[in-house]
Amino acid sequence: GQELRTGTSIAVSSKRNLKVQATTGTGRLKSMDELPGPSLATTLYWLFVKGYADKSHLLQGVQKRLYGPIWRSRFGPLDIINVASPELIAQVIQQEGQYPVRSELLHWKEHRDLRGQAYGLHVDTGPEWYRIRSVLNPRMLKMQEVVAYAPIIHQVVGDLLRRIELVRSRSPDQATVPNLAAELYKFGFEVTASILFETRLGCLQEQIPRDTVRFIAAVNNMLTLSELVMLFPRWSRRILPHWKRFVQAWDDLCDVAQTLIDRRIAEIEAQVRSGEPAEGTYLTYLLSSDKMTKAEVHITATELLLGGVDTTSNTLSWTLYHLARDPEVQERLYREVSSVCPDRREPTTDDLSRMPYLKAVIKETLRLYPVVPGNGRLISESKVIVDNYWFPKKTLFHLCHYTVCHDEGEFVDAERFLPERWLRAEAGDSGRRDSPGFYQHHPYSFIPFGIGVRACVGKRVAEMEMYFTLSRLLQHYEFQPEDGSPTVEPKTRILLIPGKPINLRFLPRA
């Protein structure tokens, strides 16, 4: 291994102003070849023989126990450095540079090249990526702007309430909504599409639009095939169907988005012709920005739709699942919502600021079920020092977020659903890690939306959508598990999703 002598100390200040030291001292820095970790064969054994292929979130913990908080593994052509402690995650992030990259996504890029499309938010890097982000950020991360989406979200929540009422009243016990995640998925699609494309699709109607069905299937295929496409060598594409199906899935995603964009453009043109001002919250803004090409608007809209649906809908599914199983938490949340908004008044964004328990419930759900269980950083600008190792440029780091937010050392009773742990007043300030509800975890042990300039662009929209939906569902219904329904464990399909359908009883509140 190459030897470097350094006394580098990377001082980091997080939002909480907590200093993280990546001090390497004056000792010899080790090379990545000295890291422990499984061979590709061992990884394949774990995935396909031991059955972790759809439980890779748990494999993080298994490997951490075997190799310690930093280890090296292989996945197809990828050479990966896994980090599974908040301190080490912080060290990686502190060195992510001006234009962080999550991973190369070569197979996504290949699809874009094949179709002559722009790269877009996920695939683009460097100043090109930043240019697109800087168009989106003001519309998505500024609270004053995001508030403009509140009426749209409330309108779609209204549809969801009607849909729930219809489904439950038709069920044999006149209460059960089977496969709740599927209903919330259509809801998430409708919300995101109505914000982005400034148009209602009617996903919660009896007849789901054909393109919506097509989009849902394509997301599923794209996510399922993404890993296979990466794992198998290129020559296998001639004999195995996975590459063709992967390309088809992306074609479908882009196609559906294009149809929606074309529809909106036609509307805008008609408005302009009739002398009306073309007003709109989102797409109109993107289309009128001179910082993005039409091709970039297209791929960006596709990716926003892709990013916005599975994430919020699965998180909401888990929240309702836990509330149904924990009547005390549900009752407490109901009391909070009804005291701030009596008589089923629709909450405003101001009201939300008076609902700390609501926020704690969502946080706790994202801690137990981080929908993005592992994140990545490809540090391409310079070499990196993490722990006592040095890494050359272009090293890919896998940030094992699932394991870290399930760590007993960070969260007492880590496997339990305890929203109170997020309430400072109740968790106490004792500084004792053995007191239940100890809130003072390391800030990098809970980063469900990622962190830094490349963090989730949809965070604010997602939070507002989840808060409004959950509070209004609670104003109308009490949730209960279906009799004898089994516990549901999560599974991974890049995203963390329920392993089985979640069926819940919705009982109208008096």
Q: In 10 A of CB 383, how many CB atoms?
A: 14
Measured distance CA(467)–CA(461) in Å, rounded: 10
Q: Shortest gap between Cβ of 494 and ligand HEM (angstroms)?
A: 11
Question: What token pair was written down for 407?
Answer: 């760590």
Nearest CA to 508 among 468, 482, 474, 483? 474
Nearest CA to 267 among 291, 252, 286, 283? 283
Does residue 22 interact with ligand HEM by CB under 6 A? no
Q: Shortest gap between Cβ of 165 and ligand HEM (angstroms)?
A: 25
Which CB sits closer to ligand HEM, 44 or 230? 230
Does residue 91 interact with ligand HEM by CB under 6 A? no
Applying CB under 6 A, among 156, 361, 371, 473 the residue interacting with ligand HEM is 371
Measured distance CA(465)–CA(463) in Å, rounded: 5
Does residue 302 interact with ligand HEM by CB under 6 A? no
Does residue 122 interact with ligand HEM by CB under 6 A? yes
Measured distance CA(457)–CA(467) in Å, rounded: 17
Does residue 498 interact with ligand HEM by CB under 6 A? no
H/E run at residue 74: strand 70-75
| Piece of 154-162, 203-211, 299-307, 482-490 that binds ligand HEM (CB under 6 A) | 299-307
Question: What token pair was written down for 396?
Answer: 């890919």
Which CB sits closer to ligand HEM, 26 or 98? 98
Applying CB under 6 A, among 38, 419, 458, 498 the residue interacting with ligand HEM is 458
Applying CB under 6 A, among 56, 194, 311, 503 the residue interacting with ligand HEM is 311
Q: Identify residues 423-452 at the interface with ligand HEM (CB under 6 A).
A: 448-451
Q: Shortest gap between Cβ of 103 and ligand HEM (angstroms)?
A: 9
DSSP 445: G
Strand ranges for 387-429 from DSSP E: 389-391, 395-399
Does residue 192 interact with ligand HEM by CB under 6 A? yes
Task: Name 496's bridge partners.
Answer: 492
Which CB sits closer to ligand HEM, 176 or 192? 192
Q: Shortest gap between Cβ of 51 and ligand HEM (angstroms)?
A: 26
Q: Identify residues 339-368 at the interface with ligand HEM (CB under 6 A).
A: 366
Token pair 């982005």 is at which residue?
196
| Piece of 174-182, 241-249, 268-276, 456-464 that binds ligand HEM (CB under 6 A) | 456-464
Please count the helices (runs of H) and the strands (runs of E) in the chain.
19, 14
Does residue 282 interact with ligand HEM by CB under 6 A? no
Applying CB under 6 A, among 56, 60, 73, 312 the residue interacting with ligand HEM is 312
Which CB sits closer to ligand HEM, 375 or 471? 375
Nearest CA to 204 among 216, 219, 189? 189
Tell me the chain's radius of gyration from C-alpha atoms: 23
* Axis crossing angle, helix 294-325 with helix 327-340, rounded to the nearest 10: 120
Residue type (1 letter), 357: Y
Has 341 been labeled as part of a binding site? no
H/E run at residue 31: strand 30-31
Does residue 102 interact with ligand HEM by CB under 6 A? yes
Q: Shortest gap between Cβ of 300 and ligand HEM (angstroms)?
A: 8
Measured distance CA(410)–CA(446) in Å, rounded: 9
Alpha carbon 460 to chain centroid, angstroms:
12
Applying CB under 6 A, among 320, 461, 470, 502 the residue interacting with ligand HEM is 461
Q: Shortest gap between Cβ of 377 and ligand HEM (angstroms)?
A: 7
Q: Which residues are annotated as a binding site for heme?
A: 456
Give residues in contact with ligand HEM (CB under 6 A): 102, 121-122, 133, 192, 303-304, 307-308, 311-312, 315, 366, 371-372, 375, 448-451, 454-458, 461-462
